[in-house]
Amino acid sequence: MDSSTIRERFLAFFAERDHHQVPSSSLVANDPTLLLTNAGMNQFKPYFLGEQSPPFARAMSVQKCARTPDIDEVGKTARHLTFFEMLGNFSFGDYYKREACAWAWELVTEGFGIDVERLWITVFQTDDEAAEIWADEVGVARGRIVRRGKADNFWSMGVAGPCGPCSELFVDLGPGYGDASEEGPAGNEDRYVEIWNLVFMQNDCDAAIEPVADLPKKNIDTGAGVERLASVLQGVPTIYETDTIGGLITEAERLTGVRYGTDDRTDMALRILADHGRFITFLIADGVLPSNEGRGYVLRRVMRRAIRHARMLGRNEPVLGGLIDATDALMGGFYNEVRDKKDFIHDVAEREEGRFDETLRQGLSLLEREITTNKAAGSNTLPGDVAFKLHDTFGFPVDLTREIAAESQLELDETSFASLMEEQRTRARAARQPGPLAGGLHDAVATVTDQQGPTEFVGHEHLSTTGRVVALAAGADGVMVATEGDEVDVVLDRTSFYAEGGGQVGDRGVLRGPDGIAEVLETRRLLPGVTGHRVKVTAGEIAVGDEIEVTVDRAWRTGAERAHTATHILHWILRDRLGDHARQAGSLVEPGRLRFDFNHFDALSDAQIDDISTELQQRVLVDDHVRAFETTFDFAKSIGAMAIFGEKYGDFVRVVEVGEYSKELCGGTHVPHTARIGVVAVTSEGSVGANLRRVEALVGEEGLAYLKRKASALDRVAWMLKAAPDEVAEKLERLLATQKEMQRSLAAVEQRSAESDATRLADEAVDVSGTRLVVARRDAGVDALRALAQSLKAKLGSAVVVLGTAQEGRANLVAAVTKDLVERGISARDLLRPGAEMLGGGAGGKPELSISGGRSAERLDEALGAVGQAARAALAS
Ligand code: SER
């Protein structure tokens, strides 16, 4: 029974029992607590927790899942996969244990035809109810029902959330897989394989996976791995021989020319290629790009691991492309995203593979040297600084270092590596900026604001308001008063000042108290919810308790708002034009200026940049409304609002909408209408890291000033060329062509004059004991002199040539000796030596041709004389 029949049969069975088919959710889990989707139930978590009401009471799915806690283990055995497919049926407060058990049994025995004699059941140790149901209602022999503890029969997502006791179905693979055990699976997990897990989802657990509450309803969550079922139903010894993953093994064999099943070591590499190749394909199809963080790092890691094993098997050509095609051929019919995005997947993989080959080449040779040295020294540890250097200088992944070192029985010194990494982080932090509040002060402000509550922010609606000073912080101390000239942080109970956040720079402006005035230089968050106004007191004093009139600098704020709204529009356009993967990775929004970083694997072409900036300007001119509203996180998600991955959001969020198209979770401030942005001029696009691009733009007045600067530069050039601005390019092209032509003729003239110079010098050569000698000065470049010397040698047949040049305070001597004279023992280098000394330099080169140089240009003639003399003496002897 092939995998597609397994999927179909499962779905048909539960469809008959009123289950609604839900598509697989993306591997990119829509859940900040999870890096990647790890179970069919992930997408239903809000239903289990009672946060949302499910639109149906029963569901079923075939879910793409990833399990990546121990990537290094995958391949070593034939039991693990990073990516697998999970069949599941779900009940949201509808049916419970009774139906779940009975249906699972029916499908497994009748639907899939597995012999009852081969089946075993496990239940949670205290779950009498489940044990009774299996024995009395389903009719499983009591001896085949085994009780197990929390580690085996209590399921959670691995993080806080819904969880519950579970019951699993096992198949006995038979005597070929080890000894039978009275306790079945509890006695031997090699022989008895789990094919289906039924979770009785009834508890909510904390991060320590301790149940802390009952869920509002009792639910069912089941999961059956397609690969495991396939191995049983196809009667093959492991999942790596089933139709899909086995198909990938076949491709890995084809790519490497190595056969599976011949050697443990190469088998491991083939399994890695098959498993990782498939996982890579699915990750990229779901929009993950290789990077150094989060899921991007998982992807990069498996890509690199696969590539390295392919190279180890002797494949030096790219390997990922073939695995992607095989995944598509085997699974693309069911998972359309793989087929639809195939070109994109290839593109991303190809680039990473190329990049990694380079890293590998450099890192491996360093690592191998270090391994040899350390082993030779009798050590069994690889020093942490080696791994650190590889990581820091070559971008060589530490897990790879660890793995390669282990292959030579060396263990990485993890402690020293970790401390070097930590030092580096500390350095990076220190280089960024000191934290807003030093230790003691942090506590002081925290105490005050604990009593006063967070700063009330009214700056979305009002640019000025009044607030009371609740704390003043100067350096590391809290103070009661700040006087003229002091720089302090002012904490108010209410403010209109926007604190730097979400990429948007903090507001500037003025605070006016009853006894003094302060200029706000910077506004930032000192603690969550607490705004600090960094001020310089310009007159009088500001004291704790003062009523303050706060006024934000309107021009500053408007400038920032223009840039911020433009950023949202740009984000939307980038995703629209480049694809959903072009997600925001960071941004900086300042008055008149924006910088936007996003994920993309390629430089944008001029045409793309032009298209994006035109679209941006057009969307500004349409003058859409910009609206902001507060809502629940779930509602925001349901209307498709963009959230920044990795950012923590509360239950209530603020959504900013531009027109009908862009929706983002955002706490920043924005223009009310897009036309207020005025001009948006994209000024640059470039790379800021692997698969990370940056667009910069100027907006509003700064945008206008930029365009004006460009226009007037063009005007100047046009004036110089005596052409209209439109004709500048054409005219300049013609001019450059003429220049090239002139250079060519000039070179020809120079060549001719050099030849006639050589002829003249040859004619003037003096005769010394039957051979010829030329000594001359030509103030030209060294290359020209060398060419002249060579051509004289050719013309004269048997000769010594000595030439000198002085240019820009530097002098050079060139000496050339024909071969016959070299054989007689005359060396150009020796001849030059006396002259070189006078010029203040040394002589280098060969006996046939030597060049020397020095700074004493004024002694050139003298030096030439000395060399000439030496030559004469040498020839005469
Ligand atoms: N959530 C359970 C599992 O992943 C059953 O679907 O095994």
Q: Among the residues of 336-490, which ranges form H helices?
A: 336-340, 342-376, 384-394, 398-407, 414-432, 439-452
Q: Give the tens place of pLDDT for each residue, 578-635.
A: 998 999 988 999 999 999 999 998 899 999 999 999 999 999 999 999 999 888 888 8
Cα 792 from chain centroid?
61
| Phi then psi dihedrals of residue 510, to 5 deg | -135, 145
Residues 6+ apart with CB under 8 A from 312: 269
Å from CA of 374 to ligand 1 middle: 46
- In whole angstroms, give the CA distance from residue 635 to residue 306: 40
Q: Give the tens place of pLDDT for each residue, 648-701.
A: 677 778 899 999 999 999 999 999 999 999 999 999 999 988 889 999 999 999
Q: Give the tens place of pLDDT for each residue, 208-248.
A: 888 999 999 999 999 999 999 999 999 999 999 999 999 99
Q: What is the mean pLDDT of the chain?
A: 91
Tell me, what's the pLDDT at 815?
95
Confidence of residue 742 (pLDDT cuts 50, 70, 90): very high
Q: Give the tens place of pLDDT for each residue, 401-431.
A: 998 899 889 999 999 999 998 887 776 555 4
Residue in 222, 226, 228 to alter for ligand 1 test, most ligand atoms within 8 A of Cβ: 222
Residue in 36, 153, 155, 200 to alter for ligand 1 test, most ligand atoms within 8 A of Cβ: 155
Tell me, what's the pLDDT at 35?
85
Which of 427-436, 446-455, 773-782 has the largest mean confidence? 773-782
Which atom from ligand 1 is nearest to the alpha carbon of 86? Answer: 6
pLDDT at 516 over 60: yes
Per the model's pLDDT, the better-predicted residue between 31 and 833 turns out to be 833
Which atom from ligand 1 is nearest to the alpha carbon of 40? Answer: 6
Where is average pLDDT lowest: 23-27, 363-367, 839-843? 839-843
Å from CA of 287 to ligand 1 middle: 24
**Residue bearing the CA closest to ligand 1, atom 7:** 223
Which atom from ligand 1 is nearest to the alpha carbon of 223? Answer: 6
Å from CA of 199 to ligand 1 middle: 7
User: Residue 398 burial by CB count (10 A; 0-12/13-18/19+): exposed, middle or buried?
Assistant: middle
| Phi then psi dihedrals of residue 77, to 5 deg | -115, 170
Mean pLDDT of the 821-835 span: 93
Which atom from ligand 1 is nearest to the alpha carbon of 157? Answer: 1
Residue in 38, 156, 199 to alter for ligand 1 test, most ligand atoms within 8 A of Cβ: 199
Q: Give the tens place of pLDDT for each residue, 353-402.
A: 998 888 888 888 889 999 999 998 889 999 999 999 888 777 677 878 99
What percent of the chain clears pLDDT 70, i.e. is strictly above it? 97
Helix or strand (DSSP H, E) at 635: helix 633-638
**Residue bearing the CA closest to ligand 1, atom 6:** 223
| Phi then psi dihedrals of residue 334, to 5 deg | -90, -40
Structure tokens at 264: 């443990």
Tell me, what's the pLDDT at 444?
65
Mean pLDDT of the 718-743 span: 94
Å from CA of 145 to ligand 1 middle: 20
- In whole angstroms, give the CA distance from residue 582 to residue 600: 6
Tell me, what's the pLDDT at 494?
94
Question: Which 3 state secondary structure label does DSSP give 622?
Answer: coil
pLDDT at 254 over 80: yes
CB-CB contact of 456 with 495 (8 Å): yes
Task: Report the DSSP pairing between strands 494-495 and 456-457.
Answer: parallel
Q: Give the tens place of pLDDT for each residue, 547-588.
A: 999 999 999 999 999 999 999 999 999 999 999 899 998 899
Which atom from ligand 1 is nearest to the alpha carbon of 199? Answer: 5
Å from CA of 83 to ligand 1 middle: 14
- pTM for this model (two decimals): 0.61
Per the model's pLDDT, the better-predicted residue between 732 and 642 turns out to be 732
- In whole angstroms, give the CA distance from residue 831 to residue 214: 99
Residues with CB under 6 A from ligand 1: 39-41, 88, 155, 197, 199, 221-223
Which atom from ligand 1 is nearest to the alpha carbon of 224? Answer: 6
Tell me, what's the pLDDT at 390?
87
pLDDT at 646 over 90: no
Q: Give the tens place of pLDDT for each residue, 449-482.
A: 777 778 899 999 899 999 999 888 887 677 888 9
Å from CA of 64 to ligand 1 middle: 12
**Residue bearing the CA closest to ligand 1, atom 2:** 223
Q: Give the tens place of pLDDT for each residue, 135-145.
A: 999 999 999 99
Q: Give the tens place of pLDDT for each residue, 293-307.
A: 778 888 998 999 999
Å from CA of 107 to ligand 1 middle: 17
Confidence of residue 639 (pLDDT cuts 50, 70, 90): confident
Å from CA of 242 to ligand 1 middle: 21
Confidence of residue 434 (pLDDT cuts 50, 70, 90): very low
pLDDT at 432 over 60: no
Å from CA of 157 to ligand 1 middle: 8
Å from CA of 21 to ligand 1 middle: 17
Q: Which residues pair with 547 in a beta bridge?
A: 468
Q: Give the tens place of pLDDT for each residue, 42-78.
A: 999 999 998 888 999 999 999 999 998 778 789 988 8
